Structure 1
Amino acid sequence: MHSVIFRIGALICAAPAGIVREILPRLPATRIPGVSEAIEGLVNVRGSLLTVLDGHVLLHQERRADDEGAIVLLDVGGRRYGLAVGQVLDFLEVPAHSVAQRADLPGVDPRLVRAVGLRGDQPFILLDVEALFAPIIGADGQLP
């Protein structure tokens, strides 16, 4: 399985490469009044407005001083969204033997974890991105 590995606060996370469309540097987002704080705002990507969700808020993680900031564009529920992360670390093929089924991790909602893998000797969380976004975008992929 190919995955994009990124850091959100103290967590090393991954998304399946099949849903990742692009990785962008941090872009200024226009806030939308009255929406959840997990929605960072809208960014203009080559003429298309995309909603960016803040991974730090969604996963209850503090930003780190050394965060470079990046936006990972993901296809979720038939739409494209941005996920603001601290830093993109790697794109790699994760061998099946280095991935374990969902595990309870301290401070991480187990419903958001599809699996736990290893990048070298460093564990990472393969996120269930649809479950991560569902409280914000709804089950139908639409913002409330």
Structure 2
Amino acid sequence: MQFVIFKLGEEHFAVETDKILSINDMMVITKVPNAPYYIKGLINLRGSIKSLVDINLLLNRESNKEQNNIIILKVDDEEIGITVDEVEEVIDIEENRLQKLETHNTAGYIKGIIDLEGKLLTIIEIEKLLNQ
């Protein structure tokens, strides 16, 4: 399985690459009045307007770092952007390295954890996170 690893604060997260359309630098964000709390606004990506979600808010995390990247995802036939502090790398990981978590103890959007060279990666099922 192939994943894109990104940072939010000091934590590392990963999303499967088959959900990702592109990775972009931060760009101009147009605020939307009365939008849900987790919507940062809209972006214009090569003439296509996309909603931009602050993933920190969906994960109940405080964010005081500057976010440098936008990951464009395909979720339920819709293209959505999420803001992240930094995209680090794309890696291949065998599925048997994924440590499943007990589902009654964790949020339903966490697929599992991987210990990668001393850093813990939280693997996110992005559709479940965005649809909750």
Paired with 1:103 and 1:68, the residues of 2 have a C-alpha distance of: 31
Q: Percent identity?
A: 21
- On the 8 A contact 1:114/1:126 being kept in 2, the answer is yes
After TM superposition, the structure 1 = structure 2 runs for residues 21-36 of structure 1, keeping only pairs within 5 Å, are 21-36=21-36
Task: From 107, 119, 125, give the equivalent of 1:122.
Answer: 119
Q: C-alpha separation between the residues in 2 aligned to 1:64 and 1:33? A: 23
Please report how far the alpha carbon of residue 126 of structure 1 lies from its aligned counterpart in structure 2 after TM superposition. Answer: 0.8
The one-letter code matched in structure 1 to 2:15 is A
Within a 5 Å distance, the mapping from 1:76-115 to structure 2 comes to 76-103=75-102, 109-115=106-112
Letter in 1 for 2:17: A
2:67/2:83 contact within 8 Å kept:
no
Distance, in Å, in 1 between the alignment partners of 2:4 and 2:101 is 18
Q: What letter corresponds to residue 53 of structure 1 in structure 2?
A: V
Q: 2:26·2:70 contact (CA, 8 Å) conserved in 1?
A: yes
Q: CA RMSD in A?
A: 1.8
Secondary structure in structure 2 of the residue aligned to 1:110: coil
The 2-side partners of 1:110 and 1:55 are apart by: 14
* SS of structure 1 residue aligned to 2:60: coil
Partner of 2:58: 58
Structure 1 segments of 4+ aligned residues over 3 angstroms from their partners: none
Scaled by the length of structure 1, the TM-score of the pair is 0.83
SS of 2:32's equivalent in the other structure is coil
Residue in structure 1 matched with residue 48 of structure 2 by the alignment: 48
1-side partners of 2:72 and 2:18: how far apart? Answer: 11
Deviation at 1:37, TM superposition (A): 1.8
Question: CA separation in 2, counterparts of 1:124 and 1:18?
Answer: 18
CA distance in 2, matches of 1:113, 1:8: 15
Once the two structures are superposed, residues 45-68 of structure 1 have per-residue CA deviations (whole angstroms, 9 ceiling, x without a partner) of 000001110011111222244x45
Deviations 1:69-95 (A, max 9, x none): 210011101111001111111100012
- Is there any run of 5+ residues in structure 1 with no aligned partner, and where? 136-144
